[in-house]
Amino acid sequence: MLKIEDLLKIFFKKHPVTATLILINTVMFFVTIFTGGFSVENLVSLGGLVPAYVSERQEYHRLLMAMFLHGSFLHFFMNTYFLYYIGVFVEKIFGSVKFSIIYLVSGLGSSLLIWLLGDPLVVTIGASGSLFGIMGILLLLTFTRPNWFPHQTIKSIRTLTIINLVFTILMPNISVLGHLGGFITGILLGLILTPKKPHLTTEQTYYQTQYQSQYQNQDNVFDYEDVKDKDDDDDLFS
C-alpha cells in the first residue's frame, strides 16, 4: 500500500499545477488563521480585493491576491474540493501551462470586472472567479468537442453550469460580477486555447487506475462518475 507521501508525490508529478494551486490556497488559509482570522480587516490586510484601494492607491496586487484568500473553513474546503476533482481533468486536457493560464487569467478577469463595475468599498475574496472560468471552459467543450465526453457527462456539466449560475443570481453574499467575470473569461480562453486533441499523457494506465475511467476512444477524456456533482452544487463556488 502506498504511503500518503507517495500518493502526494504522484499527484504533484501528474497534476503539478492543480497540486501547486491547492498548496498555495492551503498555505494562505493557514496564514489567514494565524494572522488574525477571517475578519474583514485581516482579509483586507492580506490582499482582499477592495476596488477603491486599487483605483486610489494603485494596489494592483489585490487583483491577484484575492483569488487565494477565503472567508471561512467551508469556503476554503468547498473551493479546494472543486479544484481537486475538476482541475485534474482540465489540466489533462490543456496541459499544465495552458491550465495555469486558464486559472490565473480567469481569476484576473473576475477581479477586473469587480474593480471596474463593483461597489468600490466592498471586499471580495475567493477562488470562485477562477473556478467559474474552469466551469465556463468545460461548458464550451461540451459544444465544441462533444466527442471528448460521454453523453451523460455532457448533461452533467451543462446542468451543473445552469444550477451554479442560478445560485449566483439568487443567493446572498455572492459576487455576481466575480462569478460572471471568471465564467466569461474562461469561455473566451477556451476559444483561444482549446487544442484539436486533449493534451493527454501517455501514462493512461495511471489515470484509469486512479479514477476508474474507461476511454471509449482516444479523445474521450471524462467518465460521468468522475465529474458528476455532489449534493450541494451552490457550495462549490461560494
Q: Which residues have a catalytic role annotated?
A: 128, 179
The answer to whether the CB of 13 falls within 8 A of the CB of 82 is: no
Question: Backbone phi, then psi, for 213, in 5-degree steps?
Answer: -105, 145
Residue 19 CA from chain centroid, whole number: 12
Helices 128-144, 176-193: inter-axial angle, 10-degree rounding: 40
**What is the rounded distance in angstroms from the CA atom of residue 165 to the CA atom of residue 176?**
9
Contacts of 140 (CB under 8 A, 6+ apart): 186, 187, 190, 191, 194
Residue 17 CA from chain centroid, whole number: 12
Report residue 124 as a C-alpha cell.
471580495
**What is the rounded distance in angstroms from the CA atom of residue 25 to the CA atom of residue 29?**
6
What SS3 class is residue 145? Answer: coil
Cα distances from 68 to residues 5, 49, 71, in angstroms, run 24, 11, 10
